[in-house]
């Protein structure tokens, strides 16, 4: 029997942070788009496995895999697993990250180092493996943040890590010239996830919700919709930071 034509096989997506609020929605959306999805998790295997079951129950294909995105060997094994399970990698969506907040003058340097390790080193390693392995016609989608532009007080350390993500994204898009691979970042604004809402009182949440002309917080499905577009039909969107924030400026 002849080997199947790879172009007729389902595209394969690796979603880091796939057990998180936005990562969960992205995993579901890409599976609904027909992709086989490897749902990465850092420590929450139970949630990741629930997502895999939900995708499978809906007729999709998914598996879960745990790894530290800042460990080069574990990141390589994550991509090895995707290739072993599904034959290759076409889409990498890097949602994994942490957000620790404080004014610059009071910021704990151990927290800064922790964010640097996960948000910057983690993005670098995931992009490195993605760039080495992703197939022609593929897409790499990083996660930045609208706070890089909005400059909210207390977000100095976090915004600095996401500014680094922006730089990596724009440069990698150029470095992959000739590969037919797009590299972009989405930059969500205030989005109703546990990560964003943690520690905020209702008055703060209401203020943030009113920043957008649409007068609400984003929800994970809003972000997943943009990821689906960039990872799928939007082949002429490349080397961009796409602000997905409802019009917050």
pLDDT at residue 196, as a whole number: 77
Cα 242 from chain centroid (whole Å) = 13
What pLDDT is recorded for position 2?
43
Residue 165 has pLDDT above 60, yes or no: yes
Report, as an integer, the average pLDDT of 202-214: 92
The whole-chain average pLDDT of the chain stands at 94
pLDDT in tens, 90-121: 999 999 999 999 999 999 999 999 999 999 99
Distance of alpha carbon 169 from alpha carbon 230, whole angstroms: 14
Task: Grade residue 1 by pLDDT with cuts at 50, 70 and 90.
Answer: very low
Contact 63, 39 (CB under 8 A): yes
CB 154 within 8 A of CB 101: yes
pLDDT at residue 6 in the model: 53
Residues tagged active-site? 158
Residue 200's pLDDT is what? 83
Cα separation, 248 vs 246, whole angstroms: 6
Work out whether the CA dihedral 15, 98, 219, 184 comes out positive or negative: negative
Q: What are phi and psi of 126, to 5 degrees?
A: -65, -45
Share of the chain above pLDDT 70, in %: 97
Model pLDDT for residues 18-69, shown as the tens digit of each residue: 999 999 999 999 999 999 999 999 989 999 999 999 999 999 999 999 999 9
* Res. 7 pLDDT band, cuts 50 70 90: low
Comparing CA positions, the residue from 190, 85, 179, 75 lying closest to residue 127 is 75
Indicate whether this model's pTM tops 0.85. yes
CA dist 245 → 18, 66, 226 (Å): 21, 30, 11
Closest CA to 91 of 1, 13, 205: 13
CATH superfamily of 8-240: NAD(P)-binding Rossmann-like Domain (3.40.50.720)
Residue ranges covered by each domain of the chain = 8-240
pLDDT band at 8 (very low <50, low <70, confident <90, very high): low
């Amino acid at each position: 029997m002849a080997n199947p034509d790879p172009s007729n096989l389902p595209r394969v997506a690796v979603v880091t942070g796939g057990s998180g609020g936005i990562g969960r929605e992205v995993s579901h959306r890409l599976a609904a788009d027909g992709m086989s999805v490897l749902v990465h998790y850092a420590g929450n295997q139970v949630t990741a496995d629930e997502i895999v079951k939900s995708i499978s129950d809906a007729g999709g294909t998914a598996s879960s895999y745990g790894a530290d995105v800042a460990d080069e060997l574990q990141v390589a094994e994550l991509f090895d697993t995707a290739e072993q399970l599904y034959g290759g990698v076409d889409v990498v969506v890097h949602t994994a990250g942490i957000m620790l907040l404080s004014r610059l003058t009071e910021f704990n340097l151990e927290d800064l180092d922790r964010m640097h390790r996960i948000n910057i080193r983690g993005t670098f390693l995931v992009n490195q493996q993605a760039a080495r392995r992703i197939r022609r016609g593929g897409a790499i989608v990083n996660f930045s943040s609208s706070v890089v532009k909005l400059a909210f007080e207390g977000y100095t350390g976090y915004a600095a890590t996401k500014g680094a993500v922006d730089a990596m994204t724009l440069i990698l898009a150029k470095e992959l010239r000739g590969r037919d691979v797009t590299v972009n970042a989405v930059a969500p604004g205030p989005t109703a996830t546990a990560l964003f809402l943690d520690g905020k009182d209702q008055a703060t949440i209401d203020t943030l919700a009113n920043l957008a002309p649409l007068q609400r917080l984003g929800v994970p499905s809003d972000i997943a919709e943009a990821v689906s577009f960039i990872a799928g039909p939007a082949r002429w969107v490349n080397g961009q930071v796409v602000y997905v924030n409802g019009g917050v400026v």
